[in-house]
Chains A and B, each alone.
Chain A
Amino acid sequence: MDFVATDTQAMLRDTADRLVRDRYDFEERKKIVASDDGFSRKLWKELADLGLLGIEIPEEQGGSGGTFADVAVVLESFGKGLVVEPYLSTVVLGAGLIAAAGWEAQKHDILPKVASGDMLLALAYTEAHSRYALNHVATKARKDGAGYVIDGHKAVVLGADTADRLIVSARTSGEVDDASGISLFLVDPKAEGVSMRAFPNLDDRRAAEVTFDGVKVEASALVGAEGDGLLPLEAAIDRGAAAVGCEALGAMGALNALTLDYLKTRTQFGRPIGKFQVLQHRMADMVMAEQQARSMLFLAIEQADAKDPAARAQAISAAKAQIDACGQVVGRGAIQLHGGIAMTMEYVAGHFFRRLTALEKMMGDRDYHLERFAI
């Protein structure tokens, strides 16, 4: 495990931190969240120009050929800034999946556009009754001439409302919970038969319920081989779990700093509240939680792209479950130590809490990962 940041990572951290600090203060973020798209296209273009959208994309496709560990650095900064831009859905999940499992033509078509900020992606895999089980796929794709017709419903699809392409898991054979028979398709959200209902999530990122009603796609829309979609989907969501861990760590760090500052400055009973031992101990627990989360994140980053799916799954689940627990210690603790002020929309602590709460529910919640680890 490499605990020392590379020069590239130090530079990326610097770039992302500066962007968050200069361009993403609380007031600016509020405007971005309230805008029509729910994120800033202008900022997205800047991310592209800074090279942050193509970190892992090969150089010949417009990226810089880096690793997930490089992306992790940026994600941690975005966690500190509570960034709402569709980085998870487009860069980590979407582009990551295409790079790992897509055909050459798909990579050449999509990855350069992602790197240049001209294409947004969303991965549509959750269903109304799937909870976090990736193999629970009721959405069907049946052969129709050379192509396929997709029918079904996907739930809480992150970034779907602004995506230019959806990657959809659909069943080409077998029963609802079968591991085989799941295929992945690229679908244009403007295609006939696709309808959407968008909403904000708890952490101000947008998601949508997406319905597919007789949606026709070409054979070339298939990502990877027919019926073999579960493995690449699992790999993508494991990367996603590591990625939300990075965001959570960033949020924990910022929230701990904020809370510590509050303990030192808020006075009650004639002294800073940080002088009270019961609050000191809780703060100490929160700092320990952040440290433990950082340790598990090293494991998650190391294993995010591991080739052995079983070993990867166990490492990722251990990390996600631990980081989720740490996020709760920090989030709930921060609200309690602040008191009423942290309950308000006008103060940033509550927004970190909302983000940490949402992250726990994304890419498999704590219970899901505990169970997956224990098997």
Chain B
Amino acid sequence: MDLKYPDEAQKFAEEVREFARAELPAAIKDKVTRHAKMSPDAQIYWQRKLCERGWACPGWPKQYGGPGFTPLQRHVFDNVMSEEGAPPAVPFGESMIAPVLFHVGSDAQKKEILPRIRTLEYWFCQGFSEPGAGSDLASLKTRAVRDGDEWVINGQKTWTSYAQFANMMFCLVRTDPDAKQQEGISMMVFPMSLPGITVRPIITMDGGHSVNETFFDNVRVPATSLIGEVNKGWTYAKLLLGHERTSIARIGQSKRELRMLKTLAADQGTGGTSLLDKPAFRTKVAELEMELLALEITALRVLAQDGAPGVEANLLKIKGSEIQQTLTELLIDAVGPYALPFDPNRGVGLGNMDYIGPDEAAALGPTYLSTRVVTIYGGSNEIQRNIIAKSLGL
């Protein structure tokens, strides 16, 4: 079942869909639907297409070069693009550090950084987690010490997504080791090319390389790298993570996968009954579809209210991630024994004859494995529930 938007939004949805169908190369779409590693070239190609159309950075106001969408337009845009298999935007620049810059960035930072995020000339990565600071992010130890006009950074970050492609980082560093944990943290942005930064890949159990370890050995960054005020980084980080949690729900992607699940399941089955017609499986699909529908309406309600989202952001993250996981579970169930063959490349670059089993199957096993992370990253779902409980006064 599809939600009906108001006429104007419906018209806009069609416009977006037409654009995606006309402009999105099949090879890119194929990688997206397989959750395969996107090459930076493909990502940049698509970002520039969006720039040409005036739709890059759909969450940005006009004054910074965004399209100035209404909240509903933004929702429709994200959804339709995801449903059509367009690459999700690299979130670190446009959805995470940019909103912080809107609020507290200096004019010089805004002028330098924002236009380059828009074109992906600046590809950001996020230096938050450390080996000893995961859920307890505020215990981070990476140090920045002031030395004249520079800061000198030493320490280690981990789970740095796509650091291998990134040329910029926003980073949380400890600038006052004597203050209360949250009050001694600052946020900085700097190029990844600085001497003393080393990136080491982490291969995940799906065989993919999307995360890294990043080491800092006497890295000297200019004083102008500081975002906002010194020792206020924790406040900015919370603002930034709020944005991450809203975009992390991935409603459009889940809708696309639900469609794929139904198509696959209708094609599977033995003894004259398709899998989709089996009551047990059908019920599971129906339950999932209803959960997703409720989540989309919740997202629309959040958009309709003024101000930053509160616990709704946590809800969107929890439910959105759980739905994504259930989808991958049902998808591997749908292909049966063909969930077993393991291709870390997820079938990318194979011709029709080379797939083992249904051609979607190649991506489903690795995707099932890699999707276990969605209830862990962006603040684990346990932490999200803690935040909700705290907001209830518990």
Report A's interface with B, CB cutoff 8 A: 126, 128-133, 136, 155-156, 177, 197, 199-202, 204, 207, 209, 267-269, 273, 276, 278-279, 332, 335-336, 339-340, 342-346, 350-351, 353-354, 357-358, 361-362, 365, 367, 370-371
Q: List 21 A-B contacts (CB under 8 A).
A: A128-B357, A131-B270, A133-B270, A156-B338, A156-B340, A177-B272, A199-B343, A202-B340, A202-B342, A207-B340, A268-B134, A278-B382, A336-B372, A336-B381, A339-B135, A339-B376, A340-B376, A343-B370, A354-B369, A361-B332, A361-B337
For the complex, count residues of B whose C-beta is within 8 A of A.
49
Residues of A within 8 A of B129 (CB): 340
Give the interface segment out of B11-19, B119-127, B202-210, B293-301: B202-210
Docked CA distance A358–B129 (Å): 31
Q: Are B373 and A361 in contact (CB under 8 A)?
A: no
Q: Which of chain B's residues has its CB closest to A199's CB? A: B341
- Residue of B135, B269, B337 near A156 (CB, 8 A) is B337
- Residue of A200, A342, A367 near B281 (CB, 8 A) is A367
Q: Are A177 and B270 in contact (CB under 8 A)?
A: yes
Q: Which of chain A's residues has its CB closest to B362's CB? A: A199
Q: Does B159 contact A (CB under 8 A)?
A: yes
Report B's interface with A, CB cutoff 8 A: 129, 132-136, 139, 158-159, 202-205, 207, 211, 268-272, 275, 278, 280-281, 332-333, 336-343, 356-357, 365, 368-370, 372-373, 375-377, 380-382, 385
Docked CA distance A50–B268 (Å): 44
Residues of B within 8 A of A343 (CB): 204-205, 370, 372-373, 376
Known contacts: A344-B203, A353-B369. The answer to whether A361 contacts B336 by CB under 8 A is yes
Residues of B within 8 A of A199 (CB): 341-343, 356
Known contacts: A340-B373, A343-B204, A345-B205. The answer to whether A365 contacts B269 by CB under 8 A is no
Known contacts: A269-B136, A340-B159, A367-B333. The answer to whether A207 contacts B376 by CB under 8 A is no
Q: A269-B136, A340-B134, A344-B204 are in contact. List 15 more A-B contacts (CB 8 A).
A: A131-B269, A177-B271, A199-B341, A201-B340, A207-B341, A268-B136, A268-B139, A276-B382, A339-B376, A340-B373, A344-B203, A346-B202, A361-B337, A367-B281, A370-B280
Q: Which of chain B's residues has its CB closest to A351's CB? A: B205
Residues of B within 8 A of A354 (CB): 205, 369
Among A128, A202, A353, the most chain B Cβ lie within 10 Å of the Cβ of A202
Docked CA distance A365–B334 (Å): 11
Q: Are B341 and A345 in contact (CB under 8 A)?
A: no
Q: Which 3 A-B pairs have CB atoms at the shortest separation, nearest pair first?
A: A350-B205, A268-B136, A131-B336
